[in-house]
Amino acid sequence: MKILYHHRTLGDGAEGIHVSSIVSAFRELGHQTRLTAMIGESSNKDNLRVRSLQLFKNAIPGAVFEGLELGYSLYGKRVLQKHIDEWNPDILYERYTLFNYAGVLAAQKNNIPLILEVNAPLALERAQYEKLTWKRAAKKSEAAICNRADRIVVVSTPLKEYLVAQGVSAKKIKVIPNGANPDRFKPDDAAKKDIRKKLGIAEAALVIGFTGILRPWHGVHLFLEAFAAMHSEQKNVTALIVGDGPSYKELKELAAALGISNQVCFTGRVEHDEIPGLLAACEIAVSPRATFYASPMKISEYMSTGLAVIAPRMPNIEDLINDGVDGLLFEAENQDSLKSRILELITDEKKRLSIANAARERILSKGSWQHIAEQTLSFSS
């Protein structure tokens, strides 16, 4: 099968990992896959084009940027038409971005099925967390693009419910949570020993990890507060915070104020290629907070590494974790509940190992990127 993959993102962070992982999975399954994007085929690369686009986006007024986003639809359609004329693909696959009609226009003109991958309700997300001037137009655009796609893949059950509430047909939507690469994210005793030595963490310590950009909505402060509350009871435990971001300084100050600076290791910014080794140095991993629609990639990567995962009890997280079997869920925003679940895993080694092994097995059996790609393409027919 020939798959033409299109996206209009900067290809950094989780979105870049998702793009490259899905494209690689399609190719590994034997499908010819051609990728077209403003940044080229590379993702998560620090190149001049990406930096320039980011600076440009931050510098211009919101209304102007949104107008350019809409205008990209015509440019993107021409680019897609060129590939369609040259290559005659069987499927057009597009990662949804706000105001982007390129995929639906090209698919309808050429009578090619369009699979739309929706990772977030961007009209809502941009209004809440970024700058969005055309709020009403954004919601109408989102519904229009989704309604004109042949099939829609979403990453969580609540995201499907959100789109249905916006008038999108439930029949064309399939829930496929994010995955992980079990060949990269795996238990690794050698890496565990090496990373702990480099970071000054005792070999005998029990390590609880977090990975991600340090932003307020990821809830790392909640984890640190729960960690501090239980640390007086369990001394031989270390917290490993992997990543950088706007909250980095604030979180280090919070650790100091809580009196746990010596028990918390902050790595700062690391490349994604380093994360598998850092996770292998842990026994437990946490995802303290999530938006209602997300499928946190970190959770799938934790599970793939064979860690016992703790995450908030939310419908989207329950798409990923079967509580008590391949992870533990705590009551969202409840520090005492998070503390209790951490203590449960620290004090019950048998349970911790059982959950960790089941988590790894879940990814191997149905949560790899190849599984995600197979489910996506089976839904397209």
Domains of the chain: 2-175 (3.40.50.2000), 189-367 (3.40.50.2000)
Please list, in sequence order, all residues whose beta carbon lies within 8 angstroms of the beta carbon of residue 97, skipping any fewer than 6 positions away.
7, 8, 9, 69, 122
Can you give the length of the chain in residues? 381
What stretch of H or E contains 251?
A: helix 248-257
Element housing 241 (H / E):
strand 237-242
Give the N- to C-terminal CA distance of the chain in Å, as an integer.
12
Tens of pLDDT, residue by residue over 326-350, are 999 999 999 999 999 999 999 999 9
Which token pair is 15? Answer: 């979105």
Tell me: pLDDT of 46 over 60: no
Backbone angles phi, psi at 324, to 5 degrees: 85, -10
- Kindly state the tokens that stand for 169: 């047909």
- Residues 231-278: tens digit of each pLDDT: 877 879 999 999 999 999 999 999 999 999 999 999 999 988 999 999
User: Is residue 42 very low, low, confident or very high in pLDDT (cuts 50, 70, 90)?
Assistant: low
Tokens read off for 381: 């027919």
Distance CA 110, CA 72 (A): 19
- What pLDDT score does 72 carry? 92
Tell me the three state secondary structure of residue 16.
helix
Q: Is the pTM of this model over 0.75?
A: yes
Among residues of the chain, what percentage have pLDDT more than 70? 93
Q: Cβ of 273: how many Cβ atoms within 10 Å? A: 9
The SS3 of residue 269 is: coil
Residue 280: how many CB atoms within 10 A of its CB? 23
